Amino acid sequence: MTQRALIIGASGGIGRALVAHYEALGWEVVGLSRSGTGLDVTDEDNLQRAFDALKGAFELIMVATGALEIDGAAPEKALKQITAQAMMDQFALNAVGPALCLKHGARLLAKDRRAVFAVLSARVGSIGDNRMGGWHSYRAAKAAVNQIVHGGAIEIARSHQQAIVVALHPGTVKTAFTQKYLGRHPAVEPAEAAAHLANVMEGLVPAQSGQFFDWAGKVVPW
């Protein structure tokens, strides 16, 4: 049986690479994105229509949406730079969007076999790992999506006993998303990041559902 993957955010750097990776493995891949299919993960009616149009079950659903800067608002370096609008924009895209994907996408996971629902998060969303401060809105939105994933995993396990629901940190990847910040950290090409993420997901078991992993498969503290 051909395995099926649903990539949400398929037009982004990591999303495109994940589509290519799984297609090369012979999977049937469905890609949804704002630029490609008109998907808006922050608009529940739009999202529900897109998901309702999908038929059959998926062994993998990956939410690869997100943004570090929205409408020109760069990550804050200090508390005094926080604005209500920038913070609400971050939560809408990086927390509410994935939450709605979980809400409407969980029913698309295969129920009679192993299936993975993964959400791209970021290490900077870890409260325990935060030693630098700053980036308040983005950090808070990613911390929120980690909580959504953890709580969602508990609920989904009741109906999908073989499901694995996780948050994943892809590392620093050379995309438009990170272009202004690449000088600060070692970075990899999207294809390499996709291969790392796929390798991590392949090795997970249902007992690890609800956790937060980095690109190397190491647990990231909440």
How many Cα atoms within 13 Å fall on the side-chain side of residue 216?
6
- Whether the predicted pLDDT of 91 surpasses 60: yes
pLDDT band of residue 26 (cuts 50, 70, 90) is very high
- Please state, in angstroms and rounded to a whole number, the distance separating the CA atoms of residues 195 and 125: 22
Give the residue-averaged pLDDT of 11-24.
97
- Residues 39 and 63: beta-carbon distance below 8 Å: no
Rounded to two decimals, the pTM is: 0.94
> What pLDDT is recorded for position 154?
98
Mean pLDDT over the full length of the chain? 95
CA 190, 95, 208, 117 torsion: positive or negative? negative
Tell me the residue type at 66.
G
Angle between helices 44-52 and 97-105 in degrees, nearest 10? 30
Tell me the average pLDDT across 106-134.
96
Q: What is residue 186's predicted lDDT score, i.e. its pLDDT?
A: 76
**Location of structure tokens 């229509």:** 49
Fold category of 4-214 in CATH: Rossmann fold (3.40.50)
On whether the CB atoms of residues 167 and 137 are closer than 8 A, the answer is no
DSSP state of 220: P
pLDDT (mean) for 154-158: 98
Share of the chain above pLDDT 90, in %: 92
210 token code pair: 């609800």
3-state secondary structure 73-139: ECCCCCHHHCCHHHHHHHHHHHHHHHHHHHHHHHHHECCCCCEEEEEECCHHHCCCCCCCCCCHHHH
Do the beta carbons of residue 39 and residue 218 sit within 8 Å?
A: no
- With the CA atoms of 128, 153, 49 and 42 taken in that order, what torsion angle do they form, in degrees rounded to the nearest 10? -10
